[in-house]
């Protein structure tokens, strides 16, 4: 701490900044990205609104019908059934995912060679992709060539064969379990990054004061992982609300069309029945519901001052 050595950083006058030129060169660098966003995002977004006000078949001329798609949608029980199914799935999947992810994150938050290996193992299903995971699950759940039916018989749970995918409740749970298996590692990493940012002396001090594991979890861990938890929750809810791959690939909407999700319904209207205008109207409604949901979550989990 001698004053003879010049200390450049804190007390020295700020180094003169290079004059940041206000010119168009920066815009040139940004232009390719802006172009892509304009063409493949803004234009289709605007078109969605526009198309939703038309009767728009794949072939033939679109016809302006005003809000008729929306009035029809209001009474379309098949859409609201899909919406209800999506919401139920989202609630169940989110509870399952956040619970398992939190348990995993608590398990692997400390450092160590073995812990790093567990972390990698829990994370591996995340990188496999929904299509691969769904195909894999479709096979394992298949009554003839799969694994679950003989396993259940071997364990003596039932006598006969079990077709997991033929009954609504079993199909629903098996797909949800697949999603928890595939995605838990993803949310584990997000929650873990929050857990690791908690200074360890907080836990230590509470331990010395005689706080139980649960008390420490409730009053120290949870409040401090609020931000990553909010992020994980929002990603999980919006991701589940957009579920398609797993229900299309594993169940193909069955049994008896009971597992059609909102995106699946849009897919059916637009690309199976080719009612592009009606599909667009459904998209707009789904979009509004998603934005409202995200806003509610942000509001509920907002940072309350310095707490």
Partner 1 sequence: MAAPYTPAPTARGGRIKGHRIVFHVTAVLVALIFLAPIFWVAMASFRPTAMSLRPPLPPWPTDNFTLDNYVRLENFGQSILHYTANSAIVAIGTAVLTIAVALLAGYGFSRYRFPLKPLAFVLILSTIMIPFQSILTPLFLLLARMGLQNSHLGLILVYTTLQLPFSVFMMKNAFDAVPKEIEEAARMDGIKGMRLLWQVMVPLVVPGMVTSGLFAFLNAWNEFLAALVLLSDQDKFTLPVLMTAVRYGRYGAVDWGAVQAGVTVMMIPCLVLFLILQRSYIRGLTAGAVK
What's the rounded Cα separation, in Å, for the pair 184 and 40? 31
Shorter beta-carbon distance to partner 1: residue 4 or 9? 9
**Of residues 116-145, those binding partner 1 (CB under 8 A):** 117-118, 120-125, 127-132, 135-140, 142, 144-145
The backbone torsions φ and ψ at residue 5, rounded to the nearest 5 degrees and listed phi first, read -85, 120
Vertex 84, ends 83 and 87: CA angle to 5°?
Answer: 85
* Residue 3 C-beta: closest distance to partner 1, Å: 25
* Residue 23 C-beta: closest distance to partner 1, Å: 7
Count, residues in the chain:
307
User: Which member of 53, 97, 171, 249 binds partner 1 (CB under 8 A)?
Assistant: 249
Assign 199 to helix, strand or coil. coil
* Residue 164 C-beta: closest distance to partner 1, Å: 13
* Residue 151 C-beta: closest distance to partner 1, Å: 8
Shorter beta-carbon distance to partner 1: residue 2 or 123? 123
* Residue 2 C-beta: closest distance to partner 1, Å: 26
User: Which member of 18, 155, 208, 300 binds partner 1 (CB under 8 A)?
Assistant: 18
Sole window of 6-14, 84-92, 167-175, 224-232 interacting with partner 1 (rule: CB under 8 A): 224-232
Letters for 25-54 (x = contact with partner 1 by CB under 8 A, - = none) are xxxxxx-xxx-xx-xxxxxxx-xx--x---
What's the rounded Cα separation, in Å, for the pair 165 and 169? 9
Using CB under 8 A, count the residues that bind partner 1. 97
Give the HSE-up count for residue 174: Cα atoms under 13 Å, Cβ half-sphere: 28
Query: What is the DSSP-derived secondary structure letter of residue 18?
Result: P
* Residue 245 C-beta: closest distance to partner 1, Å: 5
* Residue 93 C-beta: closest distance to partner 1, Å: 16
Provide long-range contacts, Cβ within 8 A and 24+ apart, for 167-174.
Answer: 167/255, 168/255, 168/256, 168/258, 168/259, 171/250, 171/251, 171/254, 171/255, 171/259, 172/89, 172/92, 172/259, 174/137, 174/141, 174/148, 174/250
**Of residues 189-218, those binding partner 1 (CB under 8 A):** 189-190, 193-194, 197
**Of residues 155-184, those binding partner 1 (CB under 8 A):** 181
Sole window of 1-9, 75-83, 90-98, 273-281 interacting with partner 1 (rule: CB under 8 A): 273-281
**CB-based burial label for 81 (10 Å; 0-12, 13-18, 19+):** middle
Cβ contacts of 262 within 8 Å, gap of 6 or more? 79, 82, 83, 86, 241, 242, 282, 286
Is residue 225 a contact partner of residue 191, using CB atoms and an 8 Å limit?
A: yes
Shorter beta-carbon distance to partner 1: residue 258 or 294? 294
Shorter beta-carbon distance to partner 1: residue 27 or 300? 27
Which string of b and e fits 11-24 if b means at least 16 CB within 10 Å?
A: eeeeeeeeeeeeee
User: Which member of 80, 168, 217, 267 binds partner 1 (CB under 8 A)?
Assistant: 267
Assign 64 to helix, strand or coil. strand
Establish if 86 lies at the interface with partner 1 (CB under 8 A): no
């Amino acid at each position: 701490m001698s004053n003879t050595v010049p200390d450049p950083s804190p007390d020295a006058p700020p180094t003169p900044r290079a004059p940041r030129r206000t010119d168009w060169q920066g815009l040139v660098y940004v232009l390719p990205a802006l172009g892509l966003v304009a063409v493949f995002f803004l234009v289709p977004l605007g078109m969605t609104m526009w198309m939703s006000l038309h009767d728009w078949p794949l072939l033939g001329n679109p016809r302006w019908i005003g809000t008729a798609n929306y009035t029809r949608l209001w009474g379309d029980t098949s859409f609201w059934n899909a919406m209800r199914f999506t919401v139920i799935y989202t609630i169940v999947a989110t509870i399952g995912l956040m619970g398992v992810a939190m348990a995993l994150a608590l398990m692997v938050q400390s450092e160590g060679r073995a812990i790093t290996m567990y972390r990698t193992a829990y994370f591996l299903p995340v990188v496999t992709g929904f299509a691969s995971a769904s195909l894999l699950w479709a096979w394992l759940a298949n009554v003839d060539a799969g694994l679950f039916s003989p396993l259940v018989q071997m364990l003596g749970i039932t006598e006969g064969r079990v077709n997991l995918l033929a009954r609504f409740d079993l199909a629903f749970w098996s797909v949800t379990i697949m999603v928890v298996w595939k995605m838990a590692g993803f949310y584990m990493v997000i929650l873990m990054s929050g857990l690791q940012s908690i200074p360890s002396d907080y836990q230590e001090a509470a331990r010395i004061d005689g706080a139980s594991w649960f008390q420490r979890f409730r009053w120290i861990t949870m409040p401090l992982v609020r931000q990553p938890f909010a992020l994980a929750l929002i990603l999980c809810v919006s991701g589940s609300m957009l579920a398609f791959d797993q229900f299309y690939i594993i169940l193909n909407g069955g049994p008896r069309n009971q597992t059609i999700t909102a995106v699946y319904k849009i897919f059916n209207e637009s690309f199976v029945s080719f009612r592009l205008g009606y599909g667009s109207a459904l998209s707009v409604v789904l979009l509004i519901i998603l934005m409202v949901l995200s806003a509610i979550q942000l509001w509920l989990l907002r940072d309350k001052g310095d707490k």
